[in-house]
Structure 1
Amino acid sequence: MVRTTADGGVRVLTFDRPERRNALDREALADLETAVTNATEPVVYLRGAGEAFCAGADLDVVRSLDGDAAAADFAALGQRVATTIERYDGAVVAGIDGAARGGGVELALACDLRVATPEATFAETGVKLGLFGAWGGTARLPRVVGEGEALDLALSGRTIAAEAALRMGLVSRIVEDPRRVADELAAVDTRALRALKDRMRDEADQQTKETRERTAFARLVERAEW
């Protein structure tokens, strides 16, 4: 349910279940984890087939979870996949065209860039089912958009359009063809791209981060081809 192709330095991963708005079951999550783990390109581009980006967890799977242990295990699988995306050794771009819901938003939050088309919409709908997103969204959403916006989205379950997502910082751009952004990143120096991501995601204290920043910069200068 996750198609993978390589094209021009970009590994394209496509949620390919359009009849279910690309809802993800265990198999699809495992496929996605494997595809990201095995990718070697400087850029991974995540997209959905059909009219949606990703509807999140397959509700048939969620309804079938029998007991706390099974539910926790399913959440842990989604968290692991999101962390694999976040830690990819390169840039990961989510190209969001159509609906991103629940777990689809959470996986997009794990990407380095979220690029939307004008038709994209976003919602954390779990609260309407008496649930909430448990694939790392409660940590990443406030980090990306701020606590106030995160609480508004998650507690209300409301749907927002691409322009509103751009204003709050949930997406970084609105374009007709998000794939072009992935191609832009694939054209830059791979070493610099990876070093920038490492530095911006560094959670050490300020002094340690600055020391690591100097070291990374010096290595790039040493290896630069002027």
Structure 2
Amino acid sequence: MITVRDEGPLRVVTLDRPDARNALTPAGLDALAEAVTDAPASVVYLHGAGGAFSAGADLGEVARIAEEGGVDAFIERGQATATAIESADAVVVAGIDGPARGGGVELALACDLRVATPDATFGEPGVTFGLFGAWGGTVRLPEVVGMGDALDLSLSGRVIDAAEAHRIGLVSRVVEEPRAVAEELARNDPSALAAIKHRVRDRASRSEQEDREKRAFETLVAEHADALADYRKD
């Protein structure tokens, strides 16, 4: 269900269940979280196989788990996976080619960068069958696109294309080859990538953020002292 390939500073993680549009089971969520948090690479490229990103939760699995009274545990695993993506040291780039629905959108929202092809589409269809996005969707979606667009997408269940997703800020870029963006990032300094990710994502008080920013910068200066000295000579 999840395949991993390491290519130097880039780890490629594939949601590999194309017959189910890469829908995720509890085991798939655990494997995805491990693939991201254990990455030796500075950048993780997350994408889906078979012309889709992900349909989100496997609804057949949700129904089975509901009969056994374990829905809360399944939701917690989805939330934990999204949090693992968000808090990993590696920068995580979601490459979205084709449909992203429900939990697939929510996992993409947890990534640091969302890059779509012109064929990508996005939707939170839960409301159409009596549910909603509970892998952090009601938390991250308004943070990323704003309250108005978050409510529009979640209350209507409508599907939007890549152009509209870019307009509202759901994706950062629309390109023919999203992986090229991940490769571009992977050419940058790994320590700086991790520091920037953690600093931009910091939700502490303003004064704490500024103090952490200062200390992170000092650490990078010390780490790259020789290179900075050579740069000054040039």
Specify the SS of the correspondent of 2:107. Answer: helix
Deviations 1:60-110 (A, max 9, x none): 112223359411111011001111111110200000000000000000000
Structure 1 position 66 matched with structure 2 position 66: yes
- Does structure 1 conserve the Cα–Cα contact (< 8 Å) formed by 2:141 and 2:150? yes
Measured in 2, the distance between the counterparts of 1:52 and 1:158 equals: 17
Tell me which residue corresponds to 2:191.
191
Q: How do 1:77-226 and structure 2 match up within 5 A?
A: 77-224=77-224, 225-226=227-228
Measured in 2, the distance between the counterparts of 1:150 and 1:68 equals: 32
Measured in 2, the distance between the counterparts of 1:204 and 1:153 equals: 29
Q: How do 1:27-42 and structure 2 match up within 5 A?
A: 27-42=27-42
- Does structure 1 conserve the Cα–Cα contact (< 8 Å) formed by 2:95 and 2:115? yes
Select between 95-104 and 200-209 the one with higher mean Cα deviation.
200-209
TM, length-normalised to structure 2: 0.93
Q: Which amino acid in 1 is paired with 2:163? A: E
Specify the SS of the correspondent of 1:54. Answer: coil
Flag the structure with larger Rg: 2
TM, length-normalised to structure 1: 0.97
- Does structure 1 conserve the Cα–Cα contact (< 8 Å) formed by 2:36 and 2:90? no
Q: How many pairs were matched up?
A: 226
Change (3 A) 1:67 1:19: closer
Q: Which amino acid in 1 is paired with 2:190? A: T
Consecutive unaligned residues in structure 1, runs of 5 or more = none
- Where does structure 1 differ by over 2 angstroms across 4 or more consecutive aligned residues? 65-69
Specify the SS of the correspondent of 2:66. Answer: coil
Measured in 2, the distance between the counterparts of 1:125 and 1:66 equals: 19
Q: Give the superposed CA RMSD.
A: 1.2
- Does structure 1 conserve the Cα–Cα contact (< 8 Å) formed by 2:124 and 2:158? yes
Q: Which amino acid in 2 is paired with 1:145? A: V
- Does structure 1 conserve the Cα–Cα contact (< 8 Å) formed by 2:39 and 2:90? no
Structure 1 position 22 matched with structure 2 position 22: yes
Residue 38 of structure 1 and its aligned partner are, at CA, apart by: 2.0
